[in-house]
Amino acid sequence: MKRREFCKTLGIAAALGTSPFIIDSCKTSSPKKTPNILFIMSDDHAAPAISAYKGFLSSVLRTPNIDRLAKEGMLFKNCFVTNSICTPSRACILTGKYSHKNGCRTLDDVFDNSQLTFPKLLQKAGYHTAVIGKWHLKTEPTGFDYYNVLPGQGDYFDPYLKEKGDPWQDGGEGGKQYKGYVTDVITDIALNYLKNRPRNKPFCLLLHHKAPHDMWEYDKKHAHLYENVDIPEPDNLFDDYQNRGEAIKRTTQKIGLEETLLLHETQGNQFDDVKSQFSKLPPREQKRQVYQTFIKAYLRCIASIDENVGRVLDYLDHSDLTENTIVVYTSDQGVFLGEHGLFDKRFMYEESIRTPLLVRYPKEIRSGSVNNDIVLNIDFAETFLDYAGVPIPDEMQGRSLRPLLQGRTPHNWRTSMYYRYWMHRPHFDVAAHYGIRTQHYKLIFYYGLPLDATGAVPEPTPPEWELFDLEKDPHEMNNVYNDPAYQDIVKQLKNELLKLKEKYDDKDEKYPDLMALRQKYW
């Protein structure tokens, strides 16, 4: 029996309106106090930029405060997003649904704030709910007793934030200006909220950082961090894209003068003089120096995040809240840190779709535990509802991570995941695509059509397939789709991909052009 069915059978929903206690259906112990929830999410924080993940940066990188969550809780190695781009990912997290179900498929879509979200359900169940920091969903936050959010992307220095009670203009500028660096400011506001929250209710705080999203503007106190250090390069920084499809060859999100740094010259920040400084170097050395400039700026932003995570964890300790607070640290998606010679995200490659996930809850999660199961950002909503004792709505498409956090994997846990990127070509010329990832393989179909996706470029790109054997080729350097030895695998994965599309109700039949491509290229 599913947990949501079990909860309904017990009639927990009726009890939530008055009782601060829940029945833990996974154990037969006495009732427990409802846990607080602290959900910390950064923007574009790749897992290798957390030292607990022991990635290629770990010889120089230190994130002791985020690492503390791994030491005292669980680290997930295979957490993936279902659409690697900011607005859609945030909508998926709030609703527990894929982009085609929550209405946010691209950056240009406007979030329907009348739909069901986990904060609304927690608020109804007696939680005091708040979101502070980056919102990026255009419409006013709903389901929150308090919010104070950045308009749009927000600024790194002296940012404006919109506070609940002030007039809201969807997606526009405005709000109150705060002096200081944005990561510090957001944390200051969050700590003030925690100190002044109602003490007769559990809290659910969504603490969302802007950093380390480009333009990677770091604060003054970290300006000299890594100054005399050569940051390790990923093994495939100089990827030549042989044995790959045309999509990665065509994209412009490559480390180099013409994109990574030229992009920033219009911003008037620390990159202004870089082009002239590096332009006289040989091309390979140019890329190497541009990478160093980019990655150091990125990691300086991370240093500020880590310090501020420490401030919040210290507050929980000093306020006797640590034992009864679920703390989550994650990112809205992964990002390339020079792997394949790229920056940014969007592609279905590992660096783009994989996101860090660390969870601490001393009452239930064993310290220092590690999980290798496939988990998704659409699972977060169900997990929070599960811990709060709130029945999980049937319309949500993820699953509660609670059994995994308890150290047990259900026999029917997913063995594959479905991914879809809708926003065809407006940014870095990345083609629309979807695909399936299992523990062993990844199959990607670049259908290359705009369909009806908001903001997509009308011109199509040639359709193509990529298949990667993740056990033999974890860095996805060799497309084996046309290798005769893998033809049975291709057939199996295509069948499983169609089953996942059916399961999540993302069918192609409504798009005749796409169906025509499927008939020709499948």
- The secondary structure of 232-295 as a DSSP string is PPPTTTT---TTS-HHHHH---BSSIIIIIHHHHTTTSTTTTHHHHHTTS-HHHHHHHHHHHHH
Q: How many domains does the chain have?
A: 2
Choice between 3 and 91, residue whose per-residue pLDDT is larger: 91
Summarised one tens digit per residue, pLDDT across range 151-193 is 999 999 999 999 999 999 866 678 999 999 999 999 999 999 9
pLDDT score at 33: 87
Confidence class for position 18, pLDDT limits 50, 70, 90: very low
Residues 384 and 473 grouped into a single domain: no
Residues 215 and 326 grouped into a single domain: yes
pLDDT score at 257: 74
Any idea which residue has 């093994």 for tokens? 235
Confidence class for position 271, pLDDT limits 50, 70, 90: low
Assess whether pLDDT exceeds 60 at residue 12.
Answer: no
Query: Which has the closest alpha carbon to 359: 368, 372, 351?
Result: 368
Q: Where are the alpha helices (DSSP H) in 96-221?
A: 99-102, 118-124, 182-196
Assess whether pLDDT exceeds 70 at residue 49.
Answer: yes
Residue that finishes a domain, picked among 359, 380, 406: 406
Summarised one tens digit per residue, pLDDT across range 77-136 is 999 999 999 999 999 999 999 999 999 999 999 999 999 999 999 999 999 999 999 999
Residue 3 lies in a domain: no
pLDDT score at 26: 38
How many CB atoms within 10 Å of residue 122? 26
Summarised one tens digit per residue, pLDDT across range 52-64 is 999 999 999 999 9
Summarised one tens digit per residue, pLDDT across range 476-489 is 999 999 999 999 99
CATH of the domain at 202: 3.40.720.10
> Percent of the chain beyond pLDDT 70?
90
Residues 189 and 334 grouped into a single domain: yes
Residues 164 and 227 grouped into a single domain: yes
Residue 327 lies in a domain: yes
Determine the Cα–Cα distance for residues 317 and 204; give it in Å rounded to an integer. Answer: 17
pLDDT score at 171: 62
pLDDT score at 273: 65
Confidence class for position 263, pLDDT limits 50, 70, 90: low
Determine the Cα–Cα distance for residues 271 and 277; give it in Å rounded to an integer. Answer: 10
Residue 26 lies in a domain: no
Pairing of strands 79-80, 325-331: unpaired
Cis peptide before 460 (omega within 30 of 0): no
Q: Which segment of 3-17, 131-145, 219-233 scores lowest on mean pLDDT?
A: 3-17
Residues 216 and 164 grouped into a single domain: yes
CATH of the domain at 460: 3.30.1120.10
Residue 36 lies in a domain: no
Q: Which residues contact 41 (CB under 8 A, 6 or more apart)?
A: 93, 206, 207, 208, 209, 329, 330, 331, 332
- Sign of the Cα torsion 304, 307, 310, 311 reads negative
Residues 361 and 425 grouped into a single domain: no
Residue 101 lies in a domain: yes
- pLDDT, the chain, mean: 92
Assess whether pLDDT exceeds 90 at residue 505.
Answer: yes
Burial status of residue 475 (CB atoms within 10 A of its CB: 0-12, 13-18, 19 or more):
middle
Residue 317 lies in a domain: yes
Residue that finishes a domain, picked among 362, 386, 406: 406
Summarised one tens digit per residue, pLDDT across range 309-353 is 999 999 999 999 999 999 999 999 999 999 999 999 999 999 999
Residues 396 and 501 grouped into a single domain: no
Residues 153 and 94 grouped into a single domain: yes
> Percent of the chain beyond pLDDT 90?
87
Determine the Cα–Cα distance for residues 479 and 242; give it in Å rounded to an integer. Answer: 9
Confidence class for position 278, pLDDT limits 50, 70, 90: confident
pLDDT score at 1: 41
Residues of the domain holding 442:
417-521
Choice between 351 and 275, residue whose per-residue pLDDT is larger: 351
Residue 217 lies in a domain: yes
Mean pLDDT score, 224-233: 96
pLDDT score at 68: 98
Confidence class for position 270, pLDDT limits 50, 70, 90: low
Is residue 426 within 8 Å of residue 437, measured between CB atoms?
Answer: no
Residue 291 lies in a domain: yes
Residue that finishes a domain, picked among 366, 385, 406: 406
Mean pLDDT score, 229-234: 98
Residues 290 and 143 grouped into a single domain: yes
Choice between 286 and 257, residue whose per-residue pLDDT is larger: 286
Assess whether pLDDT exceeds 70 at residue 221.
Answer: yes
Residues 378 and 517 grouped into a single domain: no
Is residue 479 within 8 Å of residue 494, measured between CB atoms?
Answer: no
pLDDT score at 153: 93
Residues 314 and 261 grouped into a single domain: yes
Residues 346 and 197 grouped into a single domain: yes
